[in-house]
Amino acid sequence: MRISVIGCGYVGLITGACLAEIGHEVSCTDNDDSKIQILRAGKLPIYEPHLDTLIEKNTREGRLHFLANPGEAVRGSDVVFICVGTPPLENGDADLSAIDSVARMIATEGGGPKLVIEKSTVPAQTGQELKRALSVYSRKSGITFRVASNPEFLREGTAVMDFLHPDRIVIGVDDDSAAKQLREIYQPILDRKFNCPAHAGKCPAESPAPIFVTTTVNSAELIKHASNSFLALKISFANALADMCEQLGADVQEVTAAVGMDPRIGPDFLRAGLGFGGFCLPKDVQAFIRLAERVGIDFTLLKATEQVNKQRIDILMEKARKALWVLKGKNIAILGLAFKPNTDDIRFSPALDAARKFLAEGAILRAYDPQAMEKTRKLLPQISLASSAYAAVEHADALVLATEWDEFRKLDWKRVFSVMARPLIIDARNFLDPAEMRALGFEYHSFGR
């Protein structure tokens, strides 16, 4: 199928590359011309495992194109995926202005009738507005558009595999023809008939065929917000539980491991620590609270989720003050800057929130992250960046482990111990083994253990 993808951010790039990989003819476009130039030069504006291989292969084989002119991309396609950003406004609402501009562009430059699919995360009823906008903007041409919702559930760091091996593909449609077209697009994934990039071409046995869920457009939009909000709720529950464990002499990892064995609860998203960040969970929880308010519902449960999450940084600072007494003038090493491992994304990163607090108290920071240094250098030049984890911890009065990169587990901790001014670790991700660290001589603090 001939597909255009508007927006070359995380969702757009993964969608474009993966749809090309499963056999479609895909044109990706973005109103940020510099992104298109980077992509056309064979480089990537983001770090994401497997994405470089997919883009290189599909561009070379002629199925994937990056076009600076959005009209050209849309005109040559039957189906348009909208993957533009919906960032939070000051009041917490999702900013839908990019969707509106895209609707105008499709209606005026698109050339003919198409199926327009929302992939960006949007509040319920956006599809209705999008349909109305498309019909208003195409008033003169009289072209008609159909609108569908197809929310994306991929996670940064595992995005390619999440796209190709989803648990479910949710489509929200108004008519049978849209459902048929969407099924056709995803058929290779439903049949697991494609070259899986991570497993030497074969799909891993443990990932069964996804479930194809067909709903109304409103329900599909709500499914996405509800999913992210529930994940956030689980994390905040685990974090509040960690605080309880700490007061009561229990170990939160032991507790969540056993609680998660109940299939009604499940083991995932119960890792306590510095809380959730990134460009999705925090903004989606906020937008869902605002959406609830707009329809007269006080979603206190989600407000509490947000509040527990905000407190995580304060709790970290309290631990640091307790251990170090005065923070001003202390050398703090921060390991990890990305909002989670395997990504270079620092948007709403709890690690950076913590760094800002330390800086505000006059601490001297030296940080290291395997992927997120370049982006941090631009955003927070006050942090001195080290070339390795060992260089970051040299002469440090404390080490704060803020993102659980695998690389940190494999560090030579004896060496770390010998180069630090004071062997103090605050493990904000409950990543290291407390007994092991203490046996090496470290003063070791974590959350709820």
Q: Name which of 118 and 156 has its Cβ closer to ligand UGA.
A: 156
Stretch in the footprint of ligand UGA (CB under 6 A) among 57-65, 67-75, 177-185, 265-273: 265-273
Stretch in the footprint of ligand UGA (CB under 6 A) among 278-286, 296-304, 394-402, 430-438: 278-286
Q: Name which of 193 and 310 has its Cβ closer to ligand UGA.
A: 310
Residues 377-416 binding ligand UGA (CB under 6 A) are none
Smallest gap from Cβ 403 to ligand UGA, in A, equals 7
Q: Name which of 347 and 445 has its Cβ closer to ligand UGA.
A: 347
Residues 153-192 binding ligand UGA (CB under 6 A) are 153-156
Q: Distance between CA atoms of 88 and 103, rounded to whole angstroms?
A: 20
Please identify which residue in 65, 165, 271, 330 interacts with ligand UGA, judged by CB under 6 A.
Answer: 271
Q: Does 81 bind ligand UGA (CB under 6 A)?
A: no
Q: Distance between CA atoms of 217 and 228, rounded to whole angstroms?
A: 18
Q: Does 85 bind ligand UGA (CB under 6 A)?
A: no
Q: Distance between CA atoms of 353 and 368, rounded to whole angstroms?
A: 15
Q: Does 269 bind ligand UGA (CB under 6 A)?
A: yes
- Which residue bears the tokens 């030579």? 412
Q: Name which of 149 and 228 has its Cβ closer to ligand UGA.
A: 228
Q: Count of residues for the chain?
A: 449
Please identify which residue in 123, 166, 197, 278 interacts with ligand UGA, judged by CB under 6 A.
Answer: 278
User: What number of chain residues touch ligand UGA (CB under 6 A)?
Assistant: 21
Q: Does 273 bind ligand UGA (CB under 6 A)?
A: yes
Q: Does 84 bind ligand UGA (CB under 6 A)?
A: no
Q: Does 339 bind ligand UGA (CB under 6 A)?
A: yes
Please identify which residue in 47, 163, 186, 276 interacts with ligand UGA, judged by CB under 6 A.
Answer: 276
Q: Name which of 304 and 419 has its Cβ closer to ligand UGA.
A: 304
Q: Does 18 bind ligand UGA (CB under 6 A)?
A: no
Stretch in the footprint of ligand UGA (CB under 6 A) among 128-136, 227-235, 321-329, 364-372: 227-235
Smallest gap from Cβ 237 to ligand UGA, in A, equals 10
Smallest gap from Cβ 234 to ligand UGA, in A, equals 7
C-beta of residue 16 within 8 angstroms of C-beta of residue 8: yes
Q: Does 235 bind ligand UGA (CB under 6 A)?
A: yes
Q: Name which of 226 and 419 has its Cβ closer to ligand UGA.
A: 226
Tally Cβ neighbours within 10 Å of residue 143.
Answer: 18
Q: What are phi and psi of 120, to 5 degrees?
A: -60, 150
Smallest gap from Cβ 374 to ligand UGA, in A, equals 19
Active site residues: 280
Summarize as ranges the residues that interact with ligand UGA (CB under 6 A): 121, 152-156, 228, 231, 235, 269-271, 273, 275-278, 280-281, 339-340
